[in-house]
């Protein structure tokens, strides 16, 4: 279900738009967040609202595409993996409807091939979850050709590995033996990893 977040009039201080600034085209500051993790999307929506964005939340590819078709936003934050498909489909539609829009893809695992695909389809950048509002805002506001500042507390290498294992495990329908085979890992080793809490 599409959710509209009521926003106060955004201040120009939040976005730092000056005359001649390449971001002046985004004066409406509309933002769609497409993520099926409701607690995460709700927190992010409120945080981005506080930074001056007019936020709409969608929970699926279908809802994201519908939001883009209804009124293509200036900005988008889109989860790669959604229950009904791939967030890249929303990015592709957004770039068709509003070529100058800036869309950031969020993904729960590090994957260079995914990043390349996202950029080819028009994503402005690619961030690994968990990404916070400051990191996302900094990425959306980065000047063309400029990278956002690195996060203070990025995902650790152990967490990236854990996220990747969890993704393959889910894709294998939680079949430990099949997951171990695909990861070229001993079954007992995998079982120990799966039994532990996620690393920080």
Residue with tokens 């993996």: 81
pLDDT at position 182 is 92
Residues whose CB is less than 8 angstroms from the CB of residue 106 and which lie 6 or more positions away in sequence, other chains included? 35, 77, 78, 79, 80, 87, 127, 128, 129, 131
Q: What is the dihedral of CA 145, 86, 33, 118, to 10 degrees?
A: 0
Token pair for 156: 């650790």
**CA distances in angstroms from 67 to 21, 38, 64, 190, listed in the order given:** 27, 17, 5, 40
Domains of the chain: 3-141 (3.40.50.2300), 157-195 (1.10.10.60)
Instruction: Write out the E strands in 35-147.
Output: 54-58, 75-79, 81-82, 85-86, 102-107, 125-128
3-state secondary structure of 173: coil
Split at pLDDT 50, 70, 90, the class of 108 is low
Average pLDDT of 103-114? Answer: 71
Q: What is the mean pLDDT of residues 35-46?
A: 90
The predicted pLDDT at position 154 comes to 65
Answer for the pair 52, 15: CB distance below 8 angstroms, yes or no: yes
pLDDT given for residue 149 in this prediction: 60
Q: What is the predicted pLDDT for the residue at 85?
A: 87
Q: How confident is the model at residue 13 (pLDDT cuts 50, 70, 90)?
A: very low
Burial of 172 (0-12, 13-18, 19+ CB in 10 A): middle
Local structure of 184: helix, strand or coil: coil
pTM metric for this prediction: 0.64
What is the average pLDDT score of the chain? 80
CA pair distance 127, 102, nearest whole angstrom:
13
The answer, yes or no, to whether residue 106 has pLDDT greater than 60, is: yes
pLDDT in tens, 48-104: 999 999 999 999 999 999 999 999 999 999 998 888 988 889 999 999 999 989 999
Q: Pick 27 or 72 by higher pLDDT.
A: 72
CB 87 within 8 A of CB 64: yes
Q: Is the pLDDT of residue 30 over 90?
A: yes
161: part of which helix (H) or strand (E)?
helix 157-171
Query: Is the distance from CB of 15 to CB of 29 less than 8 angstroms?
Result: yes
Q: What secondary structure letter does DSSP report for 34?
A: E
């Amino acid at each position: 279900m599409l959710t509209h977040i009521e926003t106060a009039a955004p201040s120009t201080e939040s976005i730092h738009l000056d005359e001649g600034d390449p971001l002046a085209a985004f004066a409406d500051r509309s933002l769609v967040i497409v993520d099926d993790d409701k607690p995460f999307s709700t927190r992010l929506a409120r945080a981005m609202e506080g930074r001056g964005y007019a936020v709409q939340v969608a929970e699926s590819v279908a809802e994201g595409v519908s939001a883009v078709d209804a009124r293509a936003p200036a900005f988008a934050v889109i989860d790669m993996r959604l229950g009904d498909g791939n967030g890249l489909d929303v990015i592709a539609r957004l770039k068709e409807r509003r070529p100058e829009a800036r869309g950031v893809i969020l993904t729960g695992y590090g994957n260079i091939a995914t990043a390349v695909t996202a950029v080819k389809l028009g994503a402005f950048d690619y961030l690994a979850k968990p990404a916070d509002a400051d990191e996302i805002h900094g990425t959306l506001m980065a000047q063309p050709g400029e990278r956002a500042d690195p996060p203070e507390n990025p995902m650790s290498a152990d967490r990236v590995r854990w996220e990747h294992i969890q993704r393959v495990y889910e894709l294998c329908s939680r079949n430990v033996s099949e997951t171990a085979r695909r990861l070229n890992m001993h079954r007992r080793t995998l079982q120990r990893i799966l039994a532990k809490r996620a690393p920080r």
